[in-house]
A and B are shown apart, each in its own frame.
Chain A
Amino acid sequence: MTRFNEVAAKVKAGRMTFRQAAATLGITYYEFVSLLDEAGAFDA
């Protein structure tokens, strides 16, 4: 989870694209967006 948080922070800052983040974590793009959504990253 720590690795995900690190990568999510970079994504939030625009220092990495979602695709780069997914590749870094070794997961699919779909999984990465789902994880971000579940973590509440897209909540207004």
Chain B
Amino acid sequence: MTNTPQISSTSARDDLRTEPRFIRGLVIAMAVIFLTVFVVLPLVVVFAQAFSKGVGAYFAALSDPEALSAIRLTLMVAVISVGLNLVFGLVAAWAIAKFDFRGKTFLISLIDLPFSVSPVISGLVFVLLFGAQGFWGPWLQSHDVHVLFAVPGIALATIFVTFPFVARALIPLMQEQGTQEEEAAISLGASGLQTFFRVTLPNIKWGVLYGVLLCNARAMGEFGAVSVVSGHIRGETNTMPLLVEILYNEYQFVSSFAIASLLAMLALITLVAKTILERHLDEGPSPSGD
């Protein structure tokens, strides 16, 4: 007798806490179906198409000189843009998070600009600046410097598009950490560089890796901005995403999807690395092994 009201009260509390079983099932099923159709299926299709003519055809497609050149160019552009954006991003985040100055808000909006501008427009800006009819075009031509339709142009467009990633990952982190540890280091006699390398950088290393990872993924995958400035010179200025499109338009599905599969693998690796890094960021920089 005494048990009955207790049981009914706990089940009533359960009802308040969670939705009925069939609604839970429905919502979970919807999420799973959505992810399958829009994420898992396309990934499977990419790999299925890439291997549709066998493993031999897959590796033949990847070792094609045009494909190798695209891979090399993509890696080079990624190294350049990630490297430079690492430096820019660190400097910008350091300035914004640790110092007060006029125009700080303006600088923050400038950093966000590449996110709000369509990549095609970003590419066009560089055409307008460096193109034959562009602002610096005639001067560049007379000095025989090739920016557009060459590696520098592609690198510039990629740097522009991927600029916010490192800075954006670091600004909130550095703001949250404040300036007290730096002040402590300076009052203990550390120089500016010692303070940066011994105190600031170790505290933000996971944030830096996180920013670099996202920056790299975007740099390798960028299509729009690069497409405008590249000129699509085969074997010279095609990056992997550009080559995927060209091969696809030429009905070379195996080659196209083989290269696409490389980009898909990059995405998967990025995803795993991102999950690991996020765990470190949540934990904070101090190891808690005792």
Q: Do A and B come from one complex?
A: no
